[in-house]
Structure 1
Amino acid sequence: MKLFESMEQYDYEEVVFCQDKQSGLRAIIAIHDTTLGPALGGTRMWTYATEEDAIEDALRLAKGMTYKNAVAGLNFGGGKTVIMGDPRKDKNEAMFRAFGRYIQGLNGRYITAEDVGTTVSDMDIVYQETDYVAGISPTFGSSGNPSPATAFGIYQGMKAAAKEAFGSDSLEGKVVAVQGVGNVALNLCKHLHQEGARLVITDIHKEAVNRALELFPAKVVDPSEIIGVDCDIYSPCALGATINDESIPLLKAKVIAGSANNQLKEARHGDAIHELGIFYAPDYVINAGGVINIADEFNGYNAERAMSKVGDIYHSISRVFAISKRDGVPTYVAADHLALERIEALRYSRKQFLQNGNHTFSKRRTHA
């Protein structure tokens, strides 16, 4: 992998490799852009096949966080961490303490939180070594597990997408195929069940499926079958890149709306589903609920205020569809335009500020 070429192509600022032999820590911190503020993005732990796969995932996720935070109106840039390892057996206290020290060494350029494969408890350990971590236990005055907020945002964005596709935002009677029923998707399914949607679910972990079935009725299919299920809405809630050359011909859904990051394997796949008339809710817009909730901690966390902001994802998705329709572009392009417009506007204002002789300009550092 030609790392510097990849960084230059998409203008990444920094990639940090973290290693601690005793604890087994092997982590990659990617900071994409800090124009809007310190990079904010979670820590993912996963069993990557190769180091190159881990680096690529960190880079893709960090860039996605830049765009997500920008569209959500947050004063944070984009970053992400991936830890190589099995989250079910490789975790230990020393690993997350060592990781916390690496974050502290970045001196506020990057703030982390939980993500796939990590938990609030893990972040509590990181907090022992650094202030630059959010989404820790409410005991410490934090917001806790962001999964319910993420799920509520997905639910609101799905309703907005349904209104575009079906003329009504009601999900009653709609068949929703949910790929992966982890913590976020489990909360999403509760909202969908309460509204009267009909659920089809799958997960590579049988215990996750069983947990879901204890809470609501659903049809269960094999993970290999979920893409081709006859449904109204396909909701990818596991790992990314499920919209690809192999899956697109199998899709029967009119709407794609889920929590997974980087759902399009390549940009051209967004073009393909647009041409097929499929209404795609861009992932980094619809799944921003968790980071919106966490960002509220920096104003003195208020749960009611945070969830109200998460509910605005409905309007963000509606705005993306309006731009897509107005300009005749796929929704992923419309979402990118929204993000870049805000980032470039701030870059320009700072450039003008400095060119006018204001060379003492400094950015306020925000602590978790």
Structure 2
Amino acid sequence: MGVFAPNSAAPGEPGATGHEQVVFCQDQATGLRAIIAIYSTALGPALGGTRFHPYRTEADAVHDVLELSRAMAYKNAMAGLDHGGGKAVIWGDPATDKTEPLLRAYGRFVQSLGGRYFTACDVGTVVADMDVVARESRFVTGRSPEHGGAGDSSVLTAFGVYEGMRAAAAHRWGTASLAGRRVGIAGVGKVGRHLAALLVEAGAHLLVADVNTAAVEALVAKFPTIDVVDPVALVGTAVDVYAPCALGGALDDETVPALQAEIVCGGANNQLAHPGIDKLLADRGILYAPDYVVNSGGVIQVADEIEGFVFERAKRRAAGIHETTLAVFRRAETDGTTPAAAADRLAEQRMSQVGRLRSILVSGAPPGATGMMTRV
């Protein structure tokens, strides 16, 4: 295991990456190559999923884990959780490289961090994988109900996106109702298919696209009123709401000028391909609901599991995404900035204000202890 500590910059301060700790994990016997990135523990132990993906290069894997872990810190802060941000990536093809020994080796690396990082599911990993990882580590959530976990977190992820979409509708059109609205969903996998079901129930007219034709066919068989659109063509199709629900980087210099939507609100992580895309959206009059705000229902669910999962309690917390999204839009208008920038400011404000409390001496603490989390 190799450890790289980029710097000790506090969240929101300038620095090389702002990360507290980056750990490279390798086990030759199982073929494990993984990276765990902890962006911040200002609010508590870092929490974020494990992505299993066949990256082209190690540099690609490093870039992804750094971006994803930073986003988790901001997501957890905006979700009101007492968790910092972290993420892990396993470099490989989950279809061919995922084995019990490899997952258990990964679990031992998670355990070695002593609770600084809690892991869960992400792209390329499922609930059953977390059950295997948990055989070697206590710091695993997103587990199956049979093992005391919450199961599939995509249910509340989709619910949170739906609530964020309703908030965006209320801000743009004066009503949270999505009945009769044309919504284009790009990607109908774990989150997109649940979001589609909620929108059909709400009376929206759905257009969906996915490179996985089987996923599209399964959804249309369940909801025959859904229209299927070519994945490339969807971005330029006239809709009221465009919902990116696949991998990140969906909004870039090519897609934004082609967008024919008034609102962008979806479940994908890191939707903005680079800084400045939020300004391009605003210049075109498109209301952007920041991805890490609206897609935080899943992390709310897995965080609740750490307490002892109660679905009704987790869903109530996820319903709060509606008001949080409205607060972001209000802050953007007050500050004269974009919703993405406003969300960042609100998240950094919480990390700074609550993180400061770690320096307060707690009565009954061991001699010399201050309660401050040491950055390494």
Mapping for residues 140-155 of structure 1, pairs under 5 Å: 140-155=147-162
Corresponding position: 1:348 with 2:356? yes
Report how far residue 240 of structure 1 moved.
0.8
Q: CA 1:308–1:352 in structure 2 vs 1: closer, same or farther (change >3 Å)?
A: closer
| Residues 269, 14 of structure 1: alpha-carbon distance in 2 compared, 3 angstrom cutoff | same
Q: Report whether the alignment pairs 1:62 with 2:69.
A: yes
Equivalence for 2:205: 198
Is the contact made by 2:279 and 2:338 (CA closer than 8 Å) also made in structure 1? yes
Distance between the aligned counterparts of 2:68 and 2:186, measured in 1? 19
Q: Share of identical aligned residues, percent?
A: 46
Assess if the C-alpha contact under 8 Å between 1:138 and 1:144 holds in 2. yes
Partner of 2:315: 307
Distance 1:223 1:309, change over 3 A: same
The 1-side partners of 2:114 and 2:8 are apart by 25
Q: Please name the residue that 2:133 is paired with.
A: 126
Residues 164 and 279, structure 1, Cα contact 8 Å, conserved in 2: no
Question: Counterpart amino acid of 2:287?
Answer: F
- Between the aligned partners of 1:254 and 1:168, the Cα distance in structure 2 is 14
Structure 2 distance, partners of 1:49, 1:219, is 34
2:350 paired with 1:339: no
Alignment partner, residue 31 of structure 1: 38
> Of 244, 268, 279, which aligns to 1:271?
279
TM-score where L is the length of structure 2: 0.92
Per-residue CA deviations over 1:172-219 (Å, capped at 9, x if unaligned) read 111111111111111000000111111111112121112211221322
Alignment of 1:69-80 (within 5 A): 69-80=76-87
AA of the residue aligned to 2:243: S
Structure 2 residue runs without a partner (length 5+) = 10-14
**Corresponding residue of 2:169:** 162
* Letter in structure 2 aligned against 1:287: N
Seen in structure 2, the aligned counterparts of structure 1 residues 6 and 342 have a Cα distance that, compared at 3 Å, is: closer
Classify the secondary structure of the residue corresponding to 2:235: helix
2:223: which partner in 1?
Answer: 216
Partner deviation per Cα, 1:262-304 (whole Å, 9 max, x = no partner): 1111120011111221111101100000011111123222111
Distance (whole Å) between structure 2 residues aligned to residue 226 and residue 322 of structure 1? 30
Whole-angstrom CA distance in 1 between matches of 2:315 and 2:372: 28
Q: Deviations over 1:298-355 (max 9, x none)?
A: 322211111000011000101101111111110001101110001111333334659x
Q: Tell me the alpha carbon deviations over residues 221-271 of structure 1, each in whole angstroms, 9 at most, x when there is no partner.
A: 222112111111000001111111111110011000001111111120011
Partner of 1:319: 327
CA contact (8 A) 2:7 2:20 kept: no
Alpha-carbon distance in structure 1 between the residues aligned to 2:331 and 2:82: 23
Aligned residue pair count: 361
- Is the Cα contact below 8 Å between 2:361 and 2:371 reproduced in 1? no
Deviation at 1:84, TM superposition (A): 1.4
In structure 2, the partner of 1:298 is 306
- Residue 108 of structure 1: SS of its match in structure 2? coil
- Once the two structures are TM-superposed, the CA of residue 23 in structure 1 deviates from its matched residue by 2.2
CA distance in structure 1 between the aligned counterparts of 2:210 and 2:111, rounded to whole angstroms:
36
SS at match of 2:238: coil
Q: Which residue of 11, 14, 23 corresponds with 1:16?
A: 23
* Structure 1 contact 177–226 (Cα < 8 Å) conserved: yes
Q: How far did 1:4 drift?
A: 4.3
Counterpart CA distance in 1 for 2:192 and 2:330 is 27
SS in 1 for 2:292: helix
TM-score calculated relative to the size of structure 1:
0.94
* Counterpart in the other structure of 2:370: 361
Give the Cα separation in 1 of the matches to 2:56 and 2:223.
35
Contact 2:153 2:302 in 1 (8 A): yes
- Aligned-residue Cα RMSD (Å) equals 2.0
In structure 2, what is the Cα distance between the partners aligned to 1:122 and 1:363? 33
Aligned to 1:43: 50
Which residue in 1 is equivalent to 2:12? Answer: none
Question: SS of 2:98's equivalent?
Answer: coil
- Does residue 175 of structure 1 match 2:165? no
Distance in 1 between residues matched to 2:8 and 2:34, nearest whole Å? 18
Distance 2:210 2:32 in 1: 27
* Structure-1 separation of matches of 2:205 and 2:40: 40
The amino acid that maps onto 1:248 is V
Residue-by-residue CA offset, 1:82-113 (whole Å, 9 max, x unaligned): 11122222211111111001101111010000
